[in-house]
């Protein structure tokens, strides 16, 4: 009954009534030593979600009330995951670091539970309630005045654990990544240590979930990579972050592979960009542009196609710069007279090689990434000579997209 009443009246009731409702739910559902009250749990959680859907109410609740509801959602998710047991593939993890769930558990968590005698199994009910609580956290963190700093770490830890514990095909993953993005966007300049730990966990997490072919989820993960890119690039450039660089390498393989498998019409089109000379300062102020070209205005559907190769190029150029720095340091420490040289594989070399692929989408993918790559990093004379030679070869191709992107790669 309470859920129906909330759904019907939430836009009409006063803030005082909403505060009383939130307090009632938060104080009534938890039972000491027993988790959440089972007879009331599902209806009360849905009522909480309905109350939070009306954002003006969330914007006006006090900091103490916001924190209370956020902690209730986090603790509720943990309690329900503990009660669900191994069926949902939960991975116990107290921090934001890496953790990979067992593959057999993941498959079980993604399968549809069978209904026996008209009843939904307990673990399926728990999963539905957990996903409702994840959505509640998403709506709590969405408001611009949310006091996120106090609860940022526990919210991120809970979202990481949730995403690791369920099938990558679950739609709730989108709400989890949206929550992560909203939190990171607010704390990126405040809680640098929390952000750094989150970046270490997010790179393998995005790689794991990238195989889910849900456009909305992929857009959220692209936004995640944009938000963390300044911190991630700084971490890549550190000499002590070998394991993190390896994770980024694996992520780039996943991003490049999936983008090269897209149909040509689903990739970034030459018609989507315009050429305009900009100095470095203007290029940095233009979010969807470089010094040589930019995304045409009025093309929101092309923003994802732009972001995809742009991010690949950004992370790849950082990896190559880091490898070059490591190689130079090794040479400096090498003993005099040693003839053996350390060769660090250059990611750009792989993209240059792929421009000769017989697969059209792979060739265009490589050319587009090169177009963004050369705008982000200074190249050696030998690399420029090799790249120009290869791009001039591709510029003579009969296919218009291939020749156009090859010529775009020469624009710097």
Q: Looking at residue 98, what is its pLDDT?
A: 54
pLDDT-flagged residues of the chain (< 70): 1, 84-123, 168-169, 239-240, 277-286, 326-345, 412
The DSSP call for residue 119 is B
| The total number of residues written for the chain in this structure | 412
Whole-model pTM? 0.81
Q: Looking at residue 291, what is its pLDDT?
A: 79
Residues facing residue 294 across a β-bridge:
274, 289
Joined tokens for residue 57:
């109410």
Q: Do 352 and 383 meet the contact criterion of CB atoms below 8 Å apart? A: no
- Nearest in space to 139 (alpha carbons), one of 160, 162, 155: 155
Burial code of 108-118, b = ≥16 C-beta within 10 A, e = fewer?
A: bbeeeeeeeee
Q: Looking at residue 412, what is its pLDDT?
A: 67
Q: Looking at residue 115, what is its pLDDT?
A: 46
Q: Looking at residue 106, what is its pLDDT?
A: 34
Q: Looking at residue 132, what is its pLDDT?
A: 92
């Amino acid at each position: 009954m309470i859920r129906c009443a909330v759904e019907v009246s939430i836009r009409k009731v006063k803030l005082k009534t909403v505060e009383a409702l939130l307090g009632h739910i938060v104080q009534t559902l938890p039972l000491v030593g027993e988790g959440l009250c089972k007879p009331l749990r599902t209806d009360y959680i849905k009522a909480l979600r309905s109350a939070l859907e009306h954002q003006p109410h969330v914007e006006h609740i006090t900091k103490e009330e916001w924190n209370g509801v956020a902690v209730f959602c986090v603790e509720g998710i943990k309690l329900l995951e503990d009660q669900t047991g191994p069926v949902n593939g939960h991975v116990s993890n107290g921090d934001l670091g890496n953790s990979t769930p067992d593959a057999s558990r993941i498959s079980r968590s993604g399968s549809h539970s069978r209904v026996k005698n008209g009843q939904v199994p307990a673990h399926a009910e728990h999963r539905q309630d957990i996903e409702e609580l994840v959505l509640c956290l998403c709506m709590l963190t969405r408001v611009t005045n949310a006091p996120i700093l106090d609860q940022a770490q526990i919210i991120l830890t809970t979202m990481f654990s949730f995403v690791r514990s369920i099938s990558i095909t679950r739609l709730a993953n989108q709400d989890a990544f949206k929550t992560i993005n909203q939190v990171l966007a607010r704390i990126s300049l405040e809680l640098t240590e929390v952000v750094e730990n989150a970046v270490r966990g997010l790179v393998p997490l995005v790689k794991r979930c990238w195989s889910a072919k849900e456009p909305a989820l992929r857009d959220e993960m692209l936004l995640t990579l944009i938000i963390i890119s300044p911190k991630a690039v700084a971490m890549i450039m550190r000499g002590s972050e070998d394991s993190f660089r390896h994770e980024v390498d694996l992520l780039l393989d996943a991003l490049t592979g999936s983008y090269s498998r897209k149909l040509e019409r689903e990739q970034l089109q030459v018609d989507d960009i315009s050429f305009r000379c900009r100095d470095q300062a203007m290029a940095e102020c233009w979010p969807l542009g470089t010094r040589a070209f930019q995304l045409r205005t009025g093309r929101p559907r092309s923003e994802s196609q732009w972001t995809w190769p742009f991010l690949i190029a950004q992370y790849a150029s950082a990896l190559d710069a880091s490898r070059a720095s490591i190689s130079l340091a090794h040479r400096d420490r090498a003993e005099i007279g040693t003839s053996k040289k350390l060769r660090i594989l250059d990611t750009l070399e792989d993209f240059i090689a792929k421009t000769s692929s017989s697969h059209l989408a792979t060739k265009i993918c490589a050319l587009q990434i090169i177009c963004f790559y050369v705008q982000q990093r200074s190249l050696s004379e030998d690399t420029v000579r090799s790249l120009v030679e290869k791009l001039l070869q591709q510029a003579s191709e009969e296919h218009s997209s291939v020749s156009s992107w090859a010529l775009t790669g020469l624009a710097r």
